Amino acid sequence: MESCPLRPVPARLVAVLSVVAAALFSGLSAQTAPPSPASPQAAPAAPAEVRITARTQERTKDRVFAVGDVELRSGDVLLLADRIEYDLASKDVLAEGNVVAQTAGQVIRADRIRFNLESGRATVEKASGMIPPSVLFEAETLERKRSDLYSLKRGRITACTQPNPRWSFGLSRGNIKTDDYLEMWDAVVRIKSVPILYVPYLRYPLKERATGFLMPRLGFGGAKGLSLSQSFYWALAPNMDATAGVDLYLSRGTGASLEYRYLFPGGTKGDLNLYYFIYKRDASGAKPGNSSIVRLNHTQALPFGFSLVANVDHQTSYSFLREFDDSFQRALVYNRTSQAYLSRSWRHFNVSARVSRFETYFSEVDDANVSTSLPQVNFNIFKTRLFAPLYFSLASSFSRSQYGWKSEYETGTERRSTKLAVSPTLSLPFASVPWLTATTSVTANLAYYGQSLEAGTGAIVDDPFVAANVLAGIEIVGPVFFRLFYGKDGRARLKNIVEPYLSYSYDSPTRNADRIVTNYGFFRYHQMSYGVTSRFLFKTGDRTVEVFSLGLGQTYYFSPKDGPLSRFLVDGEPPRFSEITGTLRFYPQAKFSFDASAAYNPYYHNVSSLRLSATAGAKADGDFLTVSWFSSRNSWVTGVDPDLIALYNRDQVGASAGLRLPALDLDLQVEADYNVRERELLYTGAQVTYHYQCVDFLVDVRAYYFRDTPDVQVRFSLGLGAIGKTLGFLQGFGF
């Protein structure tokens, strides 16, 4: 829950308010933390000695009457007034006329105060003052119920410290809890003296993480009509909180959300997000099915050193996200994910288990690709020295998996497989010279499959078999070259390192390879990968940072007919060379970066993918610029089915920027995404925030051109002091 910090009171104003400011009382809350359990009230201590000075005094049997510049002191209580009447028996004090009350460094001005020196209870008429840290108030009557709880009637309150406050709440009655919250009924929000919003009930926070309603968000959009979003924040405990919200779209329906966040000792943490939307009937009387969203991220430390990680991202309708989600990136997501991962690591080995389900929807065929693991269990032994310089490691796994189109699951024709695999490895590293490293390894792969492909038909049958092969390889980095560049002071400032690499692997033919059930095919990796990396390291003080790197690489297949590119024939033959890949990274400063990656297809002579991204500034500072360009085409499908090219081709540019103008008290942010290939704008967004003392006026305009019916959304929200703004479950990540 976000809040606006209460600003310190100017020195001149403090001097003026030192007598006019509030203080026998403190408290306020509109996002309040849950009340602490009530503790037993200690018996009130005997009142301290009472001393009264005045121009004139008169004492009867049980009363003292004082008039003219009266001053009453009792312990840390100081009362100043024109007239004071003190009851010696009941310890009641009645102060009238230009009353100023002080206690424990707190001050209040009033026309009249009734105060009991023994119980601490008080009734104040025509009260005004300041509640720490800088909340100003006025009230027709104010009652002190206990040391940390006050009630007021017909009052006005603000966190602005100007003589003429920028904003204020008017209220019929309210409760103040010191350093916690202000509870208000019939609250009217005023900007200057103009009333702009009526709220039947409101809790205003005086501290971080306080329970209460957030400021609502109003909006308007073509197909959705008028919209209103309202959230309630609940600080359940110091380690957990929740936000409940309602989204009302006048023309489309109503949504409800719940966000729950938690953090426990030992590393257990997470968040649960739920959303449910009920559609209205349209003009024809038709009503779409209701939609729901469940998102969960959970991490937990378990006994005996185990840890559990669970993730769920599930929505019942992709079309709902496309129409209602304010995040451009999330609205175009067609994935459902659910998985749980259990793991434990020891010094030399680890064990893990995972259950998962992944689904990707393809609108072109109106079907979804689904893969599941129920379960996947791994046991690995880390690289362990047997004797110098030989090392041993082991990878083993058991998995039950399914894969196929959702329509195939419905008919029971999805691909399914059970596999138990063991792969021991012996490795021999070489690093005797600083400019060359090499590692030789031999791995034996042994796998038991519970299902197999039937010869001739390719049908999956419950006919188990064992497959085995050997993988041998060598990885070489070097010879490494470097050059030092010196500054004017004679010290080395820049170092350029050039690292060529070569990796050769021999993957022996696998027995029974034609019977193995796989998702995408079983391939043999008898290949050689090679390339070079150039890095520049810059030294500043005692730190050395990498500011630039450039890498190029390619793979050659010795057995292309059963390699990973065997399906993509070029002139009737499987390609022996992979695409040439390149990466570039440039980080000259902490707040500037440039990244690029590309792939070039040597057979079709084109750039099959290109990704560029650059960032200047930091979003947290308000001034930033981020630009990205992603272009891809699967050139290999040209030889399989040219009609598939359009399915894989993408060419999109995105940009976001922010500008902070302190002189104008403005924050500006803009976003845009453009489809270069189709030459059409996909999305634009702009947000303006005007800071007026501790009032924030926020206007958000977004245009969604990618939707079936282009949609423009305009939203307005207001931030007042410590009350956060309603963000909304479906609000975009960009802003």
Confidence of residue 647 (pLDDT cuts 50, 70, 90): low
Q: Return d(Cα 436, Cα 114) in angstroms, integer.
A: 89
As given in the structure block, the two tokens for residue 543 are 């730190």
Q: Is the pLDDT of residue 92 over 70?
A: yes
How many helices (H) does the chain have, and how many strands (E)? 5, 42
Nearest by Cα to 439 from 425, 451, 449: 425
SS3 618: coil
Confidence of residue 645 (pLDDT cuts 50, 70, 90): low
pLDDT in tens, 175-220: 888 777 888 899 898 887 788 888 888 887 777 777 888 888 888 8
As given in the structure block, the two tokens for residue 702 are 């977004």
| 414-to-80, 364, 371, 402 alpha-carbon distances in Å | 87, 20, 9, 7
> CA-based Rg of the chain, rounded to a whole angstrom?
36
Q: Return d(Cα 272, Cα 294) in angstroms, integer.
A: 8
Express as a percent the part of the chain with pLDDT over 70. 90
Between residues 103 and 44, the one the model is more confident about: 103
| Beta carbons of 463 and 451 less than 8 angstroms apart | yes
Tell me what pLDDT residue 60 has: 87
Tell me what pLDDT residue 206 has: 76
pLDDT in tens, 682-709: 999 999 999 877 778 899 999 988 888 8
Look up tokens 């302190």; give the residue. 662
Q: Return d(Cα 74, Cα 72) in angstroms, integer.
A: 7
Q: Is the pLDDT of residue 419 over 70?
A: yes
SS3 648: helix
Tell me what pLDDT residue 33 has: 35
Q: Is the pLDDT of residue 526 over 80?
A: yes
Instruction: Using the Cα atoms of residue 706, residue 406, residue 338 and residue 346 in order, give the sign of their dihedral.
Output: negative
Q: What is the mean pLDDT of residues 600-610?
A: 91
Confidence of residue 42 (pLDDT cuts 50, 70, 90): very low
Of 60-64, 207-211, 607-611, least confident by mean pLDDT is 207-211
Residue type, position 282, single letter = D
Centroid of chain to Cα 340: 20
Q: Is the pLDDT of residue 38 over 80?
A: no
As given in the structure block, the two tokens for residue 678 are 């189709």
φ, ψ dihedrals at 538, nearest 5°: -115, 135
| Beta carbons of 86 and 79 less than 8 angstroms apart | no
Centroid of chain to Cα 338: 19
Q: Is the pLDDT of residue 359 over 70?
A: yes
Q: Is the pLDDT of residue 70 over 90?
A: yes
Confidence of residue 286 (pLDDT cuts 50, 70, 90): confident
Q: Is the pLDDT of residue 255 over 80?
A: yes
Between residues 135 and 561, the one the model is more confident about: 561
Q: Is the pLDDT of residue 531 over 70?
A: yes
| Beta carbons of 611 and 596 less than 8 angstroms apart | yes
φ, ψ dihedrals at 170, nearest 5°: -100, 145
Confidence of residue 640 (pLDDT cuts 50, 70, 90): low
| Beta carbons of 400 and 373 less than 8 angstroms apart | yes
Q: Is the pLDDT of residue 264 over 70?
A: yes
Instruction: Using the Cα atoms of residue 372, residue 377, residue 382 and residue 384 in order, give the sign of their dihedral.
Output: negative
Q: Is the pLDDT of residue 21 over 50?
A: no
Element at 84 (helix H, strand E): strand 77-87
Of 283-287, 365-369, 571-575, 637-641, least confident by mean pLDDT is 637-641
Beta strand ranges found along 162-306 (DSSP E): 167-177, 181-191, 194-205, 212-213, 217-221, 225-237, 240-249, 253-264, 268-279, 291-301
Nearest by Cα to 537 from 485, 480, 481: 485
Please name each of the domains of the chain with its CATH number.
Answer: 11-35+51-178 (2.60.450.10), 214-225+238-281+291-370+649-735 (no CATH), 420-578 (no CATH)
Half-sphere exposure of 515 (CA within 13 A, CB side): 20
**Start-end of H helices in 640-715:** 645-648
| Beta carbons of 308 and 341 less than 8 angstroms apart | yes
| Beta carbons of 402 and 415 less than 8 angstroms apart | yes
pLDDT in tens, 140-189: 999 888 877 888 899 988 877 666 777 788 999 998 887 778 888 998 98
By the 10 Å C-beta count (0-12 exposed, 13-18 middle, 19+ buried), 110 is classed as buried
Pairs from 504-509 (Cβ < 8 Å, separation ≥ 24): 504/473, 504/474, 504/528, 505/471, 505/472, 505/473, 506/470, 506/471, 506/472, 506/473, 507/469, 507/471, 508/469, 508/470, 508/471, 509/469, 509/562
pLDDT in tens, 454-479: 888 888 888 899 999 999 999 999 89
Q: Is the pLDDT of residue 532 over 70?
A: yes
Q: Is the pLDDT of residue 6 over 60?
A: no
Give pTM, 2 decimals.
0.77
DSSP per residue, 366-400: TEEEEEEEEEEEEEEEEEEEEETTEEEEEEEEEEE
Q: Return d(Cα 454, Cα 404) in angstroms, integer.
A: 18
Nearest by Cα to 353 from 417, 306, 415: 306
Of 6-15, 428-437, 487-496, 513-522, least confident by mean pLDDT is 6-15
Pairing of strands 217-221, 212-213: unpaired
Between residues 519 and 252, the one the model is more confident about: 252
Nearest by Cα to 184 from 208, 206, 161: 206
Of 50-59, 133-142, 383-392, least confident by mean pLDDT is 133-142
Question: In whole numbers, what is the pLDDT of the chain averaged over residues?
Answer: 85
φ, ψ dihedrals at 448, nearest 5°: -110, 125
Q: What is the mean pLDDT of residues 667-689?
A: 92
Other CB atoms within 10 A of residue 661 CB: 12
Element at 19 (helix H, strand E): helix 11-20
Pairing of strands 592-601, 212-213: unpaired
Q: Return d(Cα 171, Cα 189) in angstroms, integer.
A: 9
Q: Output DSSP code: residue 215.
A: B
Which residues on adjacent β-strands are paired with residue 272? 260, 296
Tell me what pLDDT residue 30 has: 36
As given in the structure block, the two tokens for residue 102 are 């002080």
Tell me what pLDDT residue 666 has: 92
| Beta carbons of 192 and 198 less than 8 angstroms apart | no
Contacts of 721 (CB under 8 A, 6+ apart): 3, 4, 6, 135, 158, 159, 167, 204, 694, 695
